Amino acid sequence: MTSVLFIGCYNICRSPMAELILKDLAEKAGVKSQFHIESAGVCSEYEGSMLSEPARCLLSRHGIPYFGKAARPLQRKDYGAFDLLLAMDWAGFSRAREFFSGDPEHKIRLLLDFAERPGEIEDPEFSMDYAKTWNELTAGCQGLLNYFATKERNPGKFRRVLCYGDSNTYGHDPRSLLGERYEEAVRWTALLRQKGWQIRNEGRNGRVIPYLKEDLETACAQFRDQETDIAVIMLGTNDLLNHCGLTAEVCARRMEDFLTYLLTEGPPCTLLLTAPPAMIPGAWIDDPRTLEESRRLPRCYETLAQKLGVAFVNAAEWNVSLTFDGVHFSKNGHRTFAAEMHRTLCAVLQNETP
C-alpha cells in the first residue's frame, strides 16, 4: 500500500480537496485499497475546523462527500508514516522541508510535478479562481494515479530524469520578446513525459556551464533536491555565444570541473552528457569561428565522457531543426530531439525497448 499525505497551509481548502479528489479517483479506478491518503497543514491555527465554504461547494458540485473531514496540523511522525508528501506550492514545500529538518528520503514533492503542466497550485483565497484550483488539483491527482499505474505495469522501466540545461531545455520560444516558452505540448521534456518518463525540467535561459565554486555548489544542490535516476546535462552553447574566442576545449574543461564535482559531491545517479546540436548561421550567430567551435564541441565532450566514465550522446547527429536565430530548437526540432532522447535513455538505462 502506498501512503500519500497532501500538505497545505491550514488544511481547510487545497490539501483536503486533493485528499478527497484522489480518494474519489482511486475508488473509480478500482485501486482505492492500494492507497492510504490523508492531508495536513503546516499551520495549526485552524486545527479541528471544517473545510472552507468554497471547498465544500466544489466537492458537493462534483459529488464527492466531505463530511467528517477536519483540519489537522503536520506532525513529526508524518515523515516516516508516508511514502509521499505532496505540497501545493513552493512555500508549502519549503515549510515542510523546514518542519522535518530536511528531506533525506526525497519524499517531499509538488503535486503538479505529476501533471502535464508542472508548477504551483495557487491559493484560491487570493486568486479567487476556484475553478482553476479544482482543475489543477484534479490534474495533479490523476497524474499521480497514472504515475503509480505506469510504475506498477513497468516496474523495471520507470525512471526519474533530471534535465539540466539552457534555453533549449527550458523550451524557449525564439519568437517571444521576454523569454517565454513554447507551449507545454511542444517541449521535448514534456514529450518525454508523455512516454512515461518522470521528468524534472531544470532548464534556464542563458545558463552556462557552472565552473566557479559557488556556481558548482548551487548546481549540485539542485541535483540533490529530489531523487533522480539519470541526469541529462546539455550545456555549452551559451559559453560559446557569450565569449568570443572561447574554444571547444575550454568548454570541455569547464564541463569536466562540473561533472567531477557532481560525481564527488552530488547524489548517486547516472550522468548523460549531451553534446548540443551545433549552431548554424542565423540572427543570433554568424561568426565563423564560433560556429566551428560549436561543431567541434561534441568530439571534446565525447573524449571527456570516456575519461570520466559517464554516458554520452551527440545530439548534433540528430538533425534537430533550428529556428531563424540559428540557436534554438524549432517545434519540429523539439519533436525530433524528444524521440532521439527517448531512445537514448532507453539504451543507457537498458530498461525498455524503444
Query: How would DSSP label each residue in 186-240?
Result: TSHHHHHHHTT-EEEEEE-TT-----SHHHHHHHHHHHHSS--SEEEEE--HHHH
Instruction: Report DSSP state, residue 298.
Output: H
pLDDT tens-digit map of 174-233: 998 888 999 887 899 988 887 778 888 999 999 999 988 889 998 888 888 777 889 999
Mean pLDDT over each residue of the chain, to the nearest integer: 90
Q: Which three cell numbers stand for residue 205?
A: 535561459
Amino acid occupying residue 10: Y
Task: Give percent of the chain above pLDDT 90.
Answer: 65
pLDDT of residue 151: 63
Distances (CA, A) of 121 to 37, 80, 147, 225, 346: 19, 25, 19, 20, 32
Four-CA torsion 201, 109, 220, 258, nearest 10 degrees: -20
C-beta atoms surrounding 216 within 10 Å:
19
pLDDT at 99 over 90: yes
Question: Minimal CA–CA distance to 20: which of 38, 43, 2, 47?
Answer: 38
pLDDT of residue 304: 97
104's torsion region: left (phi>0), alpha (psi -120 to 50) or beta?
Answer: alpha
The answer to whether the CB of 238 falls within 8 A of the CB of 208 is yes
C-beta atoms surrounding 255 within 10 Å:
25
pLDDT at 158 over 90: no
Buried b (16+ CB within 10 A) or exposed e, 139-149: bbbbbbbebbe
CA–CA dist 136, 58 (Å, integer): 13
pLDDT tens-digit map of 31-65: 999 999 999 999 989 889 999 999 999 999 999 99
The answer to whether the CB of 309 falls within 8 A of the CB of 271 is no
CA–CA dist 89, 122 (Å, integer): 7
Distances (CA, A) of 82 to 15, 76, 126: 15, 11, 29
DSSP 107-166: -EEEGGGGSSS-S----HHHH--HHHHHHHHHHHHHHHHHHHHHHHH-TTT--EEEEEES
Strand partners of residue 70: 50
